[in-house]
Amino acid sequence: MYKLRPEMAQELKDTASRIYQNAPTGLNAEYIITVGDICTIKINEQIRMPDLSIIDFKTKRDSFLSSEQRSIMDQIGEKIVNVNNNAGTISDELWNAIEAAISDNVRIIKLMKK
């Protein structure tokens, strides 16, 4: 398992990088991977269906998607793989699913353990 160190979490949170509200203009990649529900929806609507997306049906860590967003998300991905993964980590199960999914059009749903 990979775990995000607290100091790295703060560094990622405080980034000065630009946050895109829409898909970057001219994004024409052969292979697109999205991480996060809103990112996945935006790329799907504005560019094309991602080749691999990792989602959890939440936005901002604890707010669930609206019914409209959920409906859009339900149409993304030809194959769905459910995995267990805690916040701030990449579990072995998630890592193995990513490795297996690279060649397929897959939506990986992270199921949070409590």
Is 105's pLDDT higher than 70? no
Digit-coded pLDDT (tens) for 66-102: 999 999 999 998 889 999 998 888 999 999 999 888 8
Segments in 14-59 forming alpha helices (H): 37-46
| Residue 60 placed within a domain | yes
Q: The domain containing residue 98 runs over which residues?
A: 2-14+31-111
| Residue 41 placed within a domain | yes
| Residue 20 placed within a domain | no
3-state secondary structure of 26: coil
End-to-end CA distance of the chain: 17
| Residue 40 placed within a domain | yes
Q: Do 111 and 85 touch, CB atoms closer than 8 A?
A: yes
pLDDT at site 62: 78
Q: How many structural domains are present in the chain?
A: 1
Digit-coded pLDDT (tens) for 15-69: 677 777 788 777 778 889 999 999 999 999 999 999 899 999 988 777 899 999 9
| Residue 94 placed within a domain | yes
Angle formed at CA 56 by CA 53 and CA 61, multiple of 5 degrees: 120
| Residue 21 placed within a domain | no
Q: Do 47 and 41 touch, CB atoms closer than 8 A?
A: no
| Residue 45 placed within a domain | yes
